[in-house]
Each structure stands twice: as C-alpha cells, then as structure tokens.
C-alpha cells in the first residue's frame, strides 16, 4: 500500500499516461518558515535561506507569492503552454496566452475534462 504522503510526493514526478502530450516539468515550491528552519537545525541540517514572501494586488485581492529564481536569472525556456482539462479551458487558455505573450504558443489539452 502506498501511503498518502508518498502519493502526494509522487504527484510531482509521475503523471497518468493520458497526459503524455504535455511532457512537462513540474515545479513545486512553497515559502519556508522560521519554524521549519528551526526543525532543520535541530536535526543537524543547515536550512536553505528563506524566500521573501511578495504580495501582488490583482482584482481587488492581495495574493502572496515567492520568486523562485530572482531577478538575476534568465527567464525559463518555456517553449509552449498546454492548458489542462477544465470547465473553463478556453478562458484559461486566453489567460495563459495573455501571460506568456505571442512568443509562446498556447494550446488546450486533448485530454477530456471529467468532473
């Protein structure tokens, strides 16, 4: 039996074969906390530096985020964007195109939405 934790950890590395067309790289990140850093120190490990939590206002709401690479890094080499199955797939595709601009093609996944 696979534990719930293993299932969550594996979700970032493995995909169902129905999504083969996407051949994506998944990044999973979250801002560390001082509490987590203290736990690392107690186990004898040196925690990585904590990321600054940034805030962006969009649509009247404040969204918190972290910058993975910072300003000194080149942009990620995104070659194309495939918008996954969703009730709002076309709306999501238009939003993705707005984000990446005209240099990166955006398409919708052929995998059917089941929900």
* 98 domain residue, yes or no: no
pLDDT at 73 over 80: no
**Reported pTM:** 0.50
The total domain count for the chain is 1
Q: Which residues form the domain of 52?
A: 31-67
CB environment 12-48: b (16+ within 10 A), e (fewer): eeeeeeeeeebeeeeeeeeeeeeeebeeeeeeeeeee
> Which pLDDT score, from 0 to 100, does residue 95 have?
92
How many CA atoms, within 13 angstroms, populate the side-chain half-sphere of residue 78?
A: 16
**62 belongs to a structural domain:** yes
- Does some domain include residue 114? no
pLDDT band at 9, cuts 50/70/90? low
């Amino acid at each position: 039996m696979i534990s719930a934790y293993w299932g969550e950890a594996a979700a970032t590395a493995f995909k169902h074969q129905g999504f083969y067309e996407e051949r994506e790289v998944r990044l999973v990140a979250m801002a560390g906390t001082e509490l987590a850093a203290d736990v690392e120190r107690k186990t004898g490990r040196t925690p990585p530096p904590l990321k600054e939590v940034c805030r962006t206002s969009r649509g009247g709401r404040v969204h918190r985020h972290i910058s993975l690479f910072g300003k000194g890094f080149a942009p990620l080499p995104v070659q194309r964007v495939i918008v996954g199955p969703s009730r709002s797939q076309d709306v999501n595709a238009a939003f993705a195109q707005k984000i990446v601009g005209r240099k990166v093609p955006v398409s919708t996944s052929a995998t059917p939405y089941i929900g």
